[in-house]
Amino acid sequence: MAGAEGEILVVGVGSGRRRQLTPEAARIIDGSRIVVGGRRLLGLAPRGAETFAVGADLEAVKDFISQRIGRDDVCVITSGDPGCFSILPFLGRHFPGRLRVVPGISSPQMLAARLGIPWQDWRLVSVHGREAAAKPVPPREPTVYFCDDANPPAAVASRLLAGMGDCPAAAAADLGSASGRLLAGTLKEIAAGTLPGNSLLLVMPPPAGESAVTAYAPGIDDKLWLRSEGIPMSKSEARSVLLGKAQPQGRGVIWDVGAGTGCYAVECSLLAPSARVIAVDRKPEACRLVAENARRFGARVETVGGEAPGCLKALPPPDLAIIGGNDGRLDEIFTAVTGALNPGGRVMVTAVLERTRKAAHDLFADSGLADRTVTRVAVARGDRARWNEHNPVLIFSGDRSGAEGDGRRRKKRKERHDGRQG
For residues 377 and 239, the answer to whether their CB atoms sit within 8 Å is: no
Last residue of a domain, one of 203, 238, 272: 203
63-72, 79-88, 207-216, 221-230: least confident range: 207-216
Position 208 scores a pLDDT of: 55
Do 365 and 315 lie in one domain? The reply is yes
Residue 323 located in a structural domain: yes
Position 129 scores a pLDDT of: 66
Q: Give the CATH number for residue 94.
A: 3.40.1010.10
pLDDT, mean of residues 335-339: 96
> pLDDT tens digit string along 95-144?
999 999 999 999 999 999 999 999 999 989 888 765 444 445 556 679 99
Residue 251 located in a structural domain: yes
43 has pLDDT over 50: yes
Structural domain including 186 reads 108-203
Do 284 and 237 lie in one domain? The reply is yes
Residue 380 located in a structural domain: yes
Indicate the number of domains in the chain.
3
Q: What angle do CA 163, 236, 304 make, to 5 degrees?
A: 25
The closest alpha carbon to 12, from 110, 145, 93, belongs to 110
Percent of the chain residues topping a pLDDT of 90: 69
DSSP track, 211-259? -S-SS--SS--GGGS---TT-----HHHHHHHHHHH--TT-SEEEEET-
**Neighbouring residues of 353: CB distance < 8 A, sequence distance ≥ 6:** none
Q: Give the CATH number for residue 144.
A: 3.30.950.10
147 has pLDDT over 60: yes
